[in-house]
Amino acid sequence: MREFIIESALLTHGLKSIGSERLKQELDKKWKIAWLDYGRMIVGNVDEFCEFRERAADYGRVNYFNYDQAVRAGRSGALTASGAMRVCEDRKIPLVVTCGIGGLVPDQCAEKCNDLRALMHSKVSMLATSFKDMFDFLYSVEQAEKSGVRVCVSDETLPGGYMFLPQEASGTRLPEVKTATPHMLCLNPIPAEKRIQDYRILEESVIYGKEQEKQGRYFHPAVNARIDELTGGRSSEIQLESLIANAHFAEDI
pLDDT tens, residue by residue, 65-122 = 999 999 999 999 999 999 999 999 999 999 999 999 999 999 999 999 999 999 999 9
Q: Are 175 and 152 in contact (CB under 8 A)?
A: yes
Give CA–CA dist 102/91, Å, rounded: 24
Choice among 5-9, 12-16, 194-198, 218-222 with the minimum mean pLDDT: 218-222
Mean pLDDT of the chain: 92
Say whether 70 sits in a helix, a strand or coil.
Answer: helix
Give me the architecture of the 5-200+233-250 domain, per CATH. 3-Layer(aba) Sandwich (3.40)
Give CA–CA dist 60/14, Å, rounded: 13
Say whether 197 sits in a helix, a strand or coil.
Answer: coil
Alpha carbon separation from 176 to 107, 152, 163 (Å, rounded): 28, 5, 21
- Beta bridge partners, 126, equal 96, 185
Give CA–CA dist 110/207, Å, rounded: 24
Q: Are 84 and 7 in contact (CB under 8 A)?
A: yes
Single out the residue of 14, 10, 166, 155 nearest to residue 97, CA to CA.
Answer: 10
List the domain boundaries for the chain: 5-200+233-250
Q: Are 125 and 250 in contact (CB under 8 A)?
A: no
pLDDT at 156 over 70: no
This prediction's pTM: 0.91
